[in-house]
Structure 1
Amino acid sequence: MTFSIAGRCPDTGQIGYAVTTSSVCVGARVGAVADGCVVFSQARTDPRLHAVGLAAWAETGDAQATLQAMHGAAVAPHWRQLGVLAMTGPGWHLTGESCLPHCGGMLGGHSLALGNFLGSADVLPAMIEGFETGSGSLAERLLAGLKAGEAAGSERDPLQSAALVVLGAEGLRDVDLRIDASSDPLAAMGELLADWLPKAPAYRLRALDPDAAPSSSSVEHSG
């Protein structure tokens, strides 16, 4: 009962994902990213599969092998929806036969969309188009993908939560935002992202070169 999108930006080297669902706190359960690879476990979610996937990616550097490792470790895989997108190469996905329709996955040039219990078959292609034709930062394009999916049919129950994560250079998360409970989580995420993005470079600088970083007051009033 979830739809999600992973995306990458060859120009910046960033990779990340966005996800929304009709229950609270989706960011605690769906999606993980590390070392140039996003993994998803959703539908009847087992968050432990994210660690399995990232470990397989670290060992093999192969997205297909990563998906196979997650599938092989899954209890009752017919209830699981799994996905992998790396910084290069095609994405991979698998939807178990017990996942509720509309359900499945779709690939874009630099993206992977997954969903189950969707309101229409148009949600996945709308997410891919929203991301691939969007403008702005990777985070803004990921959120655009979710909003396009919402407009095309969303899921069958009202959305309640969302999460947005982007991994940048030096292993730092440029974006790591959650809306855990809201009657309009994508609108709330848009407001939070707009507040965060102007401040993000200063917080990155604090990690890499704290002597050159602005003061707390400068960060809080930037943008």
Structure 2
Amino acid sequence: MTFSIVARCSRTGMFGVAVSSSSPAVAARCAYAQAGVGAVYRQVLAVDVTGTTAIHSGPKALGIWAEARADNAACGGNMLAHDGVPQAMVEAFLVSEGHLGDRLIATMRAALKAGGEVGPVHSAGMKLVREVAWPVADLRCDWTDDCPIEQLASLWEIYKPQLDAYVTRAINPSDAPSYGVPGDE
């Protein structure tokens, strides 16, 4: 892990996790979330269904590592530019508004602005869960020499308008709106 957040939306009950790292495919390896129980992330960061948070950092965390938490959000990281990065993340989450996905992206941007990891980050991901048994969003940028958080933000802007429709298609396809693509008129 380089820097990450697990969070719960107090308004909707949705859970999410976002992560960025200098190593490839970080979200595929390190992000875990399941509706109804909370989100868990390695270092380990956790948030439960009431918004209570907990963090454990193992004795072999790499480089500068730190953690910060508040109700509904836990942030942590290792190989950080300085130990204030997670606190900047928590503060960004607490002042952000809107959809949990937007708030997680804002938090990851704040981590970069605060210094992020010592070296450049190359991958990022975000997973969102709510009342269904699968992630309602599982977006990743597995490797880029550009900013993976900005690529993740672009993916989120494309995906966000369809999120609820994808859930409806899985539960009751006849009630789902059109995809708006050729062949689905």
Asked if TM exceeds 0.5, the reply is yes
SS state at 2:132 partner:
helix
Paired with 2:16 and 2:49, the residues of 1 have a C-alpha distance of 10
Shift of the 201–119 alpha-carbon distance from structure 1 to 2, 3 Å rule, reads same
Pair 1:201-2:171 in alignment: no
- What's 1:10 paired with? 10
1:169 aligned counterpart, secondary structure: coil
Counterpart of 1:104 in structure 2 is: 66
Matched residues in 1 for 2:23 and 2:176: separation?
Answer: 38
The alignment of Structure 1 onto Structure 2 pairs a total of residues equal to 182
In 1, Cα distance between equivalents of 2:183 and 2:107: 28
Counterparts of 1:148-163 in structure 2, within 5 Å, are 148-163=110-125
Is the helix fraction higher in 1 or 2? 1
Matched residue, 2:37: 36
Supply the AA of the counterpart residue of 2:141: I
Residues 12-55 of structure 1: CA deviation (Å, up to 9, x unaligned): 110111000001100121120113311112xxxxxxxxxxxxxx
Mapped contact 1:15–1:36 kept (Cα < 8 A): no
Equivalent residues in 2 for 1:163-202 (5 A)? 163-183=125-145, 184-202=147-165
Match 2:83 to one of 121, 129, 132: 121
What is the aligned partner in structure 2 of residue 21 from structure 1? 21
Q: Gaps (5+ residues) in structure 1?
A: 42-80
The alignment partner of 2:90 has SS state of helix
Q: Unpaired runs of 5+ in structure 2? A: none
**Structure 2 Cα separation of the partners of residues 220 and 15 of structure 1:** 34
Q: TM-score, normalised by structure 1?
A: 0.76
Q: Deviations over 1:89-148 (max 9, x none)?
A: 521111122222321221112100010010022211110011111112001101111110
Report the RMSD for the aligned CA atoms in angstroms: 1.9
Contact 2:37 2:48 in 1 (8 A): yes
Q: Closer, same or farther in 2 for the Cα pair 1:176/1:219, shift >3 Å? A: farther
Check whether the contact 2:136–2:167 (CA below 8 A) recurs between aligned residues: yes
In structure 1, the residue matched to 2:98 is 136
Q: How much has 1:165 moved relative to structure 2?
A: 0.5
Contact kept, 8 Å, 1:202 with 1:219, in 2: the verdict is no
Deviation of 1:212 after TM superposition, in Å, equals 1.2
Question: Is the alpha carbon distance of 1:39 and 1:136 closer, same or farther for their aligned partners in structure 2, counting shifts above 3 Å?
Answer: same
- Between the aligned residues of both structures, percent identity stands at 32
TM-score by length of 2: 0.91
